A = this chain, B = another copy of it.
Amino acid sequence: MVVRFALPKGSLWKGTQRLLEEAGYEVKGAERSYRPSISDPEIQLKILRPQEIPMLVEKGSYDLGITGLDWIKETGADVEVLLNLGYGKVRLVLAVPTWMSDVSSVGDLIESFHRDGRTLRISTEYVNTASRYIMSSPAYRKLYGSSEPLVITPWWRRGENDRVVLFLSFGATEAKPPEDADAIVDVVETGETLRRNNLREVETVLESTAVLIANRRSLRNESKREKILDVLAMLMGVVEARGRLHIFVNVREENLQELLRILPALKGPTVSKLSREGWYAVNTVVEKEDFIKLLPELRRLAQGLVVHVPRQIMPLEEVSKRVRVDESS
């Protein structure tokens, strides 16, 4: 049974490559071929643009895919989202030139252009999302009712309200205003690109990260599902491990109980004797964020602390639960 797995090129590629590597998969040839090889013979890879992946997974060209949540929403693809992968965090925002200082919502923007009798031009790579977002604004509904904004692309036009016009952008959307657009709906990571182009965020339209998605029919196929859950377990192990450390610490017998009290509960730390009388070794997994907070107490109670970075931490019951959910769907 072979699982076909679509991976995203572009800004999500680097994070995806690292995720697979850390999960123990070896991916080869991705820099020169769209069909890199992978060390697991039951997986077949293909690299595609993230825009294309939701549709192709829905249609069954692939059983599994990694893409951005933004493109799942934009394309409206009917796929199962299995796991939030944590990287590729972006927000889709409405932004306007900095000199429009009085615009603080999409409603302000629409009303201001309406008042001046000017056509509001918005450039975006996400015309569906942007159109829905605009139409759901009370200001828009009050002024224009349920008529869709005019959407203009090189190949087609849609909608009837030419007082608000969406232009499909092919990238570098941030460089469109002021000549080619009055506002944009675009993804931002740090906001630096907006600033460099003298733009200012007005509202967040959507938040997105990279996600693992699956074709629904594939999940209903018994043997495919098993393989998909293997992949899910491996990737989930990496995602869980990212925020944690595996620490080994030496402690005197009289401090042992106090140390165990302050260490995170979970299933409880492992305790072994040191060869030296009256000393114990304790090892446990802690959150990176807790670790720094525990440091003062550790200094008081313990001696000799060794910190490891684990490859994967798998919450095994959690994987099983997702399995059952999927079976019922």
A→B interface (CB under 8 Å): 4, 9, 24, 28-29, 32-35, 37, 40, 46-49, 51-52, 54-56, 61-62, 71, 74-75, 127-128, 152-156, 158, 167-172, 175, 179-180, 190, 192, 195-196, 198, 226, 230, 233-234, 237, 241, 245-246, 248, 250, 260, 266-276, 279, 281-283, 285, 288, 292, 295-296, 298-299, 302-317, 319-320
Contact = CB atoms under 8 A, between A and B. Distances in A.
Given A307-B313, A309-B311, 14 more contacts: A40-B292, A48-B172, A49-B172, A71-B154, A74-B155, A127-B155, A195-B198, A226-B296, A267-B276, A271-B273, A305-B313, A305-B314, A307-B311, A308-B310
A135 B313 CA distance: 56
Contact of A170 (B29, B52, B179, B307): B52
Nearest to A316: B299
Given A237-B305, A306-B310, A307-B314, A155 B170 contact: no
Copies in the complex: 6
Contacts of A234: 292
A46 B4 CA distance: 41
A309 to B, nearest CB: 5
A306 B312 contact: yes
A279 B267 CA distance: 8
Contacts of A74: 154-155
Contacts of A24: 245, 288
Contacts of A170: 49, 51-52
Nearest to A197: B34
Contacts of A299: 233, 316-317, 319-320
Contacts of A282: 275
B267 A34 contact: no
Contacts of A169: 52
Contacts of A250: 267
Contact of A156 (B156, B268, B270): B156
A217 to B, nearest CB: 16
A316 B305 contact: yes
B285 A303 contact: no
Most buried by B among A37, A74, A154, A276: A154
B152 A128 contact: no
A74 to B, nearest CB: 6
